[in-house]
Amino acid sequence: MHAKSELRNHIINFVTYIENHFKTIFQTIQIDNKAKFAMKIYLLSKGIIHQTTCVETPEQNEIVKRKHQHLLNVTCVLLFQANLPFLLRNFATQHATLLINCIHTPLLNNVSPYEIFYNKLCDISILRVFGCLCYFNLILLLQIEKNLTVILSMVFFLASNHILKVIFS
């Protein structure tokens, strides 16, 4: 998001994504109490309860700030331990989010956020060591020699999603 004015479209897209992907209805949303975020007509049409933050009450934001700080701390640790540049923070943040969401927490009766959201156990087989050195085989068919040549390239593992994201060195 480049400007706060884009928030309205992001909220609409997010609500649509949740409704379509998880076959559930969005019930409540809490947005800052600023006029530029006014989405009263849209939220009423969807039956979403709109809650706003109280002015001059930073206590409401403390939980969010702590969660955000925890996510940033885990992100920085991943980058530091893998000795990777800060430019790759988006990959580290995605990996940190996955790790945090797969870990059981006493606040949720020793259940992970992933389990609550998806109603199934987190598949930890997708976890890999972030930023580890790995080798990726590229098999190229050379037209001239008419044989297979294996080229080994050094790459770094950066993401734990369905598409393996690597950076070539």
pLDDT digit string (tens) for 30-42?
Answer: 776 665 567 888 8
Is residue 10 assigned to a domain?
A: yes
Is residue 87 assigned to a domain?
A: no
Q: Which residues contact 131 (CB under 8 A, 6 or more apart)?
A: 78, 79, 81, 82, 83, 84, 88, 92, 156, 157, 158
Is residue 23 assigned to a domain?
A: yes
Least confident span in 31-35, 46-50, 118-122, 132-136: 132-136
Q: Provide the CA 116 distance to its chain's centre, in angstroms.
A: 16
- pLDDT of residue 3 exceeding 60, the answer is yes
How many folded domains does the chain comprise? 2
Is residue 145 assigned to a domain?
A: yes
pLDDT of the residue at 50: 84
Of 57, 81, 105, at which residue does a domain stop?
Answer: 57
3-state secondary structure of 75: helix
As a whole number, the mean pLDDT across the chain is 75
Of 42, 57, 72, at which residue does a domain stop?
Answer: 57
pLDDT of the residue at 168: 41
Is residue 74 assigned to a domain?
A: no
Of 36, 57, 78, at which residue does a domain stop?
Answer: 57
Is residue 70 assigned to a domain?
A: no
pLDDT per position as a tens digit, 93-126: 988 998 899 888 888 899 999 898 888 888 878 7
Full domain range(s) for residue 16:
1-57
pLDDT of the residue at 58: 65
Phi-psi region of 69 (alpha: psi -120 to 50; beta: other; left: phi over 0): alpha
Is residue 78 assigned to a domain?
A: no
Is residue 51 assigned to a domain?
A: yes
Report in angstroms the alpha-carbon separations of 124 from 11, 22, 98, 128: 30, 21, 10, 9
